Amino acid sequence: MKSNGTIRIAVQRSGRLSEGSLNLLKSMGLQFETYQNRLFTRCRNMPIDILFLRDDDIPEYVQDGVADLGIVGSNLLDESNAKAKRLLSLDFGFCSLAIAVPEQSEFKTIVDLAGKKIATSYPQTLKRYLAENGVDAEVILLKGCVEVAPALEVADAICDLVSTGSTLRTNRLTVLETISKSQATLIATPNVSGEKQQLIERLLLRAGGVQEARAFKYIMFNLPEKKLEDAKALVPGCDSPTVMPLADPAMIAVHSVVEEERFWEVVEKIKECGGSGILVSPIEKFIR
Ligand code: PRP
Ligand code: ZN
């Protein structure tokens, strides 16, 4: 594959981040087809190829410029020495890197693992953590299926990603200690040509817009006119809320955006101020 100014974006082929990554790229306006285990796909409407790779390989491929952008868990960046630039945290693919032990084991704290074997695909992060905690344990590197190591008596404990927790549950393991938190992150190769840089900046603006849109809701409500100052404080919006008169001169209509996280708290306060007819709708894109 020769690049010709075409940008390559690497995403996880199959795993926790695959679906979220493709959804994000589609929300950013990239049009492409993909199904099953495709290795790459070409966008119809932009000079972009999407490469489907093992997530563990993505930081190095991006560092070496095989891919210009990549979507990976931040845990992989912490683990790898690859020199890829972190551009944006993407607000999906939340998980933690945790040390887990068999449910019925006698291990209660990390100190109990001194002299024991811990299997992991994240040896660097684990070794750092053990050193910080003064625990001398043997780290066994496994590239996959880490969760079966205790049952196979390959290790006493594991250090692996926990997302829903179902892998641990299925394998009768329980978290002993959480080492770090992770989420999907957009990364870029350190050296890009000017031509590609322009496209990367456009994509970054779009990714940010999609993310902002997910983090906000559009809200409309009616309010007694004398409560305008309360409304301004509750839903300041981008610059200030839109305020419109109603046929009843004692009332106004307020339109604004509200953070998803504060949504219910704000709605309760609007009600306390005498607000009514509260309408809420999702925002598709939001560029400040
Ligand atoms: C991680 C981890 C577990 C799974 C945990 O795999 O290795 O297999 O996710 O998720 P759960 O708590 O929801 O069950 P990852 O997606 O990184 O794939 P990989 O290990 O094949 O690279
Ligand atoms: Zn992986």
Residue 173, token pair as written in the block: 């393991």
Element (H, E) at 15: none
- CATH class of segment(s) 95-182: alpha beta
Domain boundaries, the chain: 7-93+183-213, 95-182, 216-282
Counting beta carbons within 10 angstroms of the beta carbon of residue 70, is it exposed (0 to 12), middle (13 to 18) or buried (19 or more)?
A: buried
Residue 152, CA distances (Å) to 96, 148, 167, 176 in order: 24, 6, 16, 19
Ligand 2 centre to CA of 203 (Å) is 25
Among 121, 164, 167, 183, residue to substitute to test ligand 1 (most atoms within 8 Å of Cβ): 167
Tell which residue, 269, 284, 265, has the closest CA to residue 216. Answer: 284
Residue 105, token pair as written in the block: 């084991």
Same fold, 7-93+183-213 and 216-282: no
Ligand 1, atom 9: closest residue by C-alpha: 161
CATH superfamily, region 7-93+183-213: Periplasmic binding protein-like II (3.40.190.10)
Element (H, E) at 270: helix 263-272
Residue 256, token pair as written in the block: 């604004």
For the chain (length 288 residues), average pLDDT per consecutive 10? Answer: 78 93 93 88 95 94 95 94 93 95 94 96 96 96 94 96 95 96 95 88 90 87 94 87 93 92 90 93 84
Dist CA 150 CA 144 (whole Å): 13
Contact 93/181 with Cβ under 8 angstroms?
A: no
Ligand 1 centre to CA of 33 (Å) is 25
Contact 95/180 with Cβ under 8 angstroms?
A: no
- CATH class of segment(s) 216-282: alpha beta
* Single-letter code of the amino acid located at 37: N
What does the pLDDT look like over 204-257, one tens digit per residue? 999 988 888 888 899 999 999 999 999 889 998 888 899 999 999 999 999 999
Closest ligand 1 atom to residue 56 Cα is: 22
Ligand 2 centre to CA of 118 (Å) is 17
What does the pLDDT look like over 45-71, one tens digit per residue? 999 999 999 999 999 999 999 999 999
β-strands 117-120, 157-162 pairing = parallel
